[in-house]
Structure 1
Amino acid sequence: MIKMKDVWKTYPNNVKAINGINISIDKGEFVYVVGPSGAGKSTFIKMMYREEKPSKGEIFIGDTNIGKVKERQVPYIRRKIGVVFQDFRLLQQLTVYENIAYALEVIEESRDVIKRKVMDVLDIVQLKNKARSYPSELSGGEQQRVAIARAIVNSPELLIADEPTGNLDPDTAWEIMDILDDINHRGTTIIMATHNKDIVNTIKKRVIAIESGRIVRDEVRGNYGYET
């Protein structure tokens, strides 16, 4: 589903963030991306949803070389990719329902389809009773669940989670992992950048470790491998 072929990323200040990465991730996999701060994890993740473009090499999502996609086509590519961030990024003036519905309104779905899809994903993240609440009325864990619901409401083939438990207490982090694991079992490919050693070592998945912009370890059911 995802292929990187000899991918390099150099920023304008001549900082090399990614150095010749080759990787393949199959449909339906759950992959942790780990490594020390400044290793290149964020750049690795951002290139998958075209927040960043590779300086050299090719990145394929399915049959699409996203490095070659024109800027006006990027929003259409992102409809197939859900992204969850550490800081939630919810619209504070909108209710939970409206935050999720917004992702469907921009692609001009009908009102009936929007209502059905929003309530379906709220069921998945166990927040149907919070549909009319505002983000300020929710706990951090609840806000992250809303963010996940928004990311999957378009039924993306790929969900990218960038430190999704980073701002959460341990108990809430485990609840979020249960939801992500459930989404993965429904067929969505998940790539998750994380510093959470306990989660990686307990919920065994494929582990890709990045250091100095290079993949130094790629293990099925791997361990975190770093001190925290």
Structure 2
Amino acid sequence: MIEMQDVWKSYANGVMAVNGISVHIDKGEFVYIVGPSGSGKSTFIKMMYREELPTRGKIFIDGTDITKLKQKQIPFLRRKIGVVFQDFKLLPKLTVYENIAFALEVIEENPRNIRKKVMEVLDLVNLKHKARSFPNELSGGEQQRVSIARSIVNNPTVVVADEPTGNLDPENAWTIMEIFERINNNGTTVVMATHNKEIVNRMVKRVIAIESGMIVRDDEQGEYGYEA
């Protein structure tokens, strides 16, 4: 499903963000990426959907080496990968329904299917009643649920999330995690970078710990392992 082979990433300022990472993630796994701030977690996540290109090494998604994709091929890769951000990235002038529908419109989905798919994912995140609301009319937790709905409306095989509960209070954070659990139970692979010690320790999943751009721990049923 996801495989990195001796992946390195350095930036123009000389910072080495990823140092020779090799890892395999199977279809249907739920994996937490943990580590101190600045350890390389976000770079690790961004390379999966080609927001960042490694300096060297190979990254395979469903058997395709995405490091060799041409720029025009990247949108097709991202149809397979849903991305959830800490800061939601909703379009403020579009309603909840329109924000999600937009993800289908850009890939030229048949208009007859759009409403059905949008309402299905809104039902999954319990926000059908907010379909006509604008982002500034929603709470932070509701905005993140819309972001998740948008990320999965294309039925991706992988969802990657970078600190998706970082701006939320504990109650909303658990609501979000329950949604990710349902998504994973439906067969979608979930890879999540997080600093939330309580969530990692309570929802026992595979834990990959990164420090100084290197994998220092990979536990099948792991714990957070750092001070919160």
State if a TM-score over 0.5 links the two structures.
Answer: yes
Paired amino acid for 1:73:
Q
Map of 1:97 onto structure 2: 97
Amino acid at match of 2:224: Y
RMSD, aligned CA: 0.5
- Cα offset, 1:41, TM superposition: 0.4
Secondary structure of residue in 2 paired with 1:172: helix
TM-score by length of 2: 0.99
Amino acid in the other structure paired with 1:192: M
Counterparts of 2:156 and 2:54, CA distance in 1: 23
Q: For the residues of structure 1 that align with 2:94 and 2:137, how far apart are their CA atoms?
A: 12
Which residue number corresponds to residue 60 of structure 1?
A: 60
User: Which consecutive residues of structure 2, in runs of 5 or more, have no partner in the other structure?
Assistant: none
Equivalent residue, structure 2, for 1:172:
172
Q: Which runs of 5+ in 1 are unaligned?
A: none
Measured after TM superposition, the shift of residue 112 of structure 1 is: 1.7
Aligned-pair distance for 1:110? 1.9
Deviates more, 1:195-204 or 1:101-110: 101-110
Rounded Cα–Cα distance in structure 1 between residues aligned with 2:186 and 2:30: 12
CA distance in 1 between counterparts of 2:212 and 2:151 reads 30
* 1:122 corresponds to: 122
Q: C-alpha displacement at 1:211, in angstroms?
A: 0.1
Matched, 1:44 2:38: no
Q: Count how many residue pairs are aligned between Structure 1 and Structure 2.
A: 228
SS in 1 for 2:224: coil
- Cα displacement string for residues 140-169 of structure 1 (whole angstroms, at most 9, x for unaligned residues): 000000000000000000000100000000
Residues 60-113 of structure 1: CA distance to partner in whole angstroms, max 9, x if unpaired?
001110111011111111111000000000001000000000000011112220
Which runs of structure 1 show a deviation greater than 2 angstroms over 4 or more consecutive aligned residues?
none
- 1:113 is aligned to 2:113: yes
Q: Which amino acid aligns with 1:52?
A: E
- Answer with 8-17 or 19-28: which moved more: 8-17
Residue 13 of structure 1 and its aligned partner are, at CA, apart by 1.4
1: CA distance between counterparts of 2:19 and 2:208? 15
Other-structure match for 1:223: 223
Kindly, what percent of the aligned residue pairs are identical?
69
Q: Which residue of 2 aligns with 1:162?
A: 162
Match of 1:190, SS?
strand
Paired residue type of 1:62? D
The CA distance in 1 between the partners of 2:102 and 2:16, in whole Å, is 36
Give the equivalent residue in structure 1 for 2:87: 87
